[in-house]
Amino acid sequence: MGLLDDVAKVLISEETLQARTAELGQAVNEIYDDTDRPLLVCVLKGAFMFLADLTRHLEMRHEVDFMEVSSYGAGTRSSGVVRILLDLERNIQGRHVLIVEDIVDSGRTLDYITRNLQTRGPASMRVCTLLSKPSRREIEVPLDMVGFEVPDEFVVGYGLDFAEEYRNLPFIGVLKEEVYQSGE
Ligand code: PRP
């Protein structure tokens, strides 16, 4: 059985993802210019694919940096514990920061990241997330740009994983229930 056999349905096709990413890129182009030289903070690992596609639509001078935060084990539920696994290389004091996330679910991860980065004195801080699951929100976090609002289903692909797999799928799919239930 291959990876694709574990997918119950395609929620957002590759074509739709690419079109929306281009629109988000244009939205970012309207916010920043060369003098801002924004720093895009990619929240690993899930956002790596979105960041890679998003940056290809950007016209202003910018930098990318990476941060890895984990709040989940191998299962599907948030432990509520946020840990920094990898911190930024860059000092963000006085910088225009754009946080790039793949999904905002409970909001705990983003809440932690925004508070943490805010203490470092950025000139501005915004958030661009590909997906948002508003029905799961536990903490309200301001989102400046959202690609798609998704229902409370187990989504994988385009960077999003289940137990570190499925990140490579070029679309957002919903995993078959038996796949994630057998692991718990
Ligand atoms: C996912 C996702 C967000 C977070 C969202 O990361 O990339 O960072 O969970 O959930 P929350 O809003 O409930 O905090 P995960 O911890 O699964 O790590 P990964 O990106 O490396 O897969």
Using one digit for the tens of pLDDT, what is the confidence trace for 8-44? 999 999 999 999 999 999 999 999 999 999 999 999 9
Give the mean pLDDT of 168-176.
98
If one counts the domains in the chain, the total is 1
Residue 9 within a domain: no
Q: Is the CB of 108 under 6 A from ligand 1?
A: yes
Residue 166 within a domain: no
For the entire predicted model, the pTM comes to: 0.94
Residue 72 within a domain: yes
Angle at 104 between CA 27 and CA 180, to 5 degrees: 130
Ligand 1 mean position, distance from CA 71 (Å) = 7
Q: Taking every pair of C-alpha atoms in the chain, what is the biggest distance, in angstroms?
A: 51
Residue 6 within a domain: no
Residue 5 within a domain: no
Please report, for the domain that includes residue 72, its CATH number: 3.40.50.2020
Using CA atoms, how far apart are residues 29 and 26, in angstroms rounded to an integer? Answer: 5
Using one digit for the tens of pLDDT, what is the confidence trace for 137-167? 999 999 999 999 999 999 999 999 999 999 9
Using CA atoms, how far apart are residues 170 and 159, in angstroms rounded to an integer? Answer: 8
Cβ neighbours of residue 137 closer than 8 Å, sequence gap 6 or more: 104, 105, 106, 107
Ligand 1 mean position, distance from CA 45 (Å) = 8
Q: Is the CB of 159 under 6 A from ligand 1?
A: no
Whether 105 sits among the annotated catalytic residues: the reply is yes
pLDDT given for residue 72 in this prediction: 57
Q: Is the CB of 103 under 6 A from ligand 1?
A: yes
**Whole-Å CA distances, 174 to 12, 44, 138, 166, 177:** 9, 21, 22, 11, 9
Q: Which two tokens stand for residue 101?
A: 């996330």
Residue 172 within a domain: no
Query: Range of 134's domain?
Result: 14-150
Return the ligand 1 atom nearest residue 45 CA.
21
